[in-house]
Structure 1
């Protein structure tokens, strides 16, 4: 049975994911190390893990598998989930798959190195837009349908 795992720390699409999961009657796990409101939705389970680096990521990676969908912006977690057979989406709707995860990991590592080499670099990533939210909703709908066929 399909499950939806949300890496909930700093996730801008929790409410949207809950609406889509509810429509599909899919169990959803919001995984975080705190600060989340409990949901009244019986399909949503809020999982609070202990503080510590990557504890929430490990919880998700240890449980997801073929037929599940994972939403995360954490590329190393995404790689583990793809390896486990899960379908993975970033918050902007970009799918991370066997075909592209290697390049995405390499780009992440390169950008980490570039930032470390220039500590005075200003700015960050681009902001989250309405178009990103819309792409995410379409992508989640598509991935949950595909996961249900597995």
Structure 2
């Protein structure tokens, strides 16, 4: 089992939580980005630098993903692809994507993208709060605990 991180847009507090969790749970965690990332030296942490471009990191994650792996991403199309391949996906705000919810999340995302294409301002994401960080840490810990029990 691995954790894959869509690291280009991953908030710094989430990266820090993931680094600590990888060490504590001894789980390989790969940060995928189109820029060089500074990570602490650890047998459980690595980075994969990909070319710049739309969805290049997403495609690389999906290509390397094994069933049961966890992907950390706020990208809904990536989460949908992960679920299709038998993986798990967790949003940096602590929401687990599920096969039951991903269809409606994709529909809303596509609708908002269509609105923006016509010039309508839909606003950006809400500010990243301490409560988001805590929700993520709690959900990640619960997921890692469940995986440890399965071993």
Normalised to the residue count of structure 1, the TM-score between the two structures is: 0.91
- Structure with the bigger percentage of helix: 2
Unaligned runs of 5+ in 1: none
Farther off after superposition, 98-107 or 140-149: 140-149
1:44-59 counterparts in 2 under 5 A? 44-59=45-60
Q: Deviations over 1:55-85 (max 9, x none)?
A: 1111111121322111001111111001111
Aligned length: 148
Q: Secondary structure at the match of 1:103?
A: helix
Structure 1 vs Structure 2 CA RMSD: 1.5
The structure whose RCO (Cα within 8 Å, separation 6+) is larger is 1
1:42-121 counterparts in 2 under 5 A? 42-119=43-120, 121=121
Farther off after superposition, 64-73 or 34-43: 34-43
Structure 1 runs of 4+ off > 3 angstroms?
A: none
Normalised to the residue count of structure 2, the TM-score between the two structures is: 0.91
CA 1:9/1:28 → structure 2, altered by over 3 Å: closer, same or farther? Answer: same
Query: 1:138 — aligned with what?
Result: 138
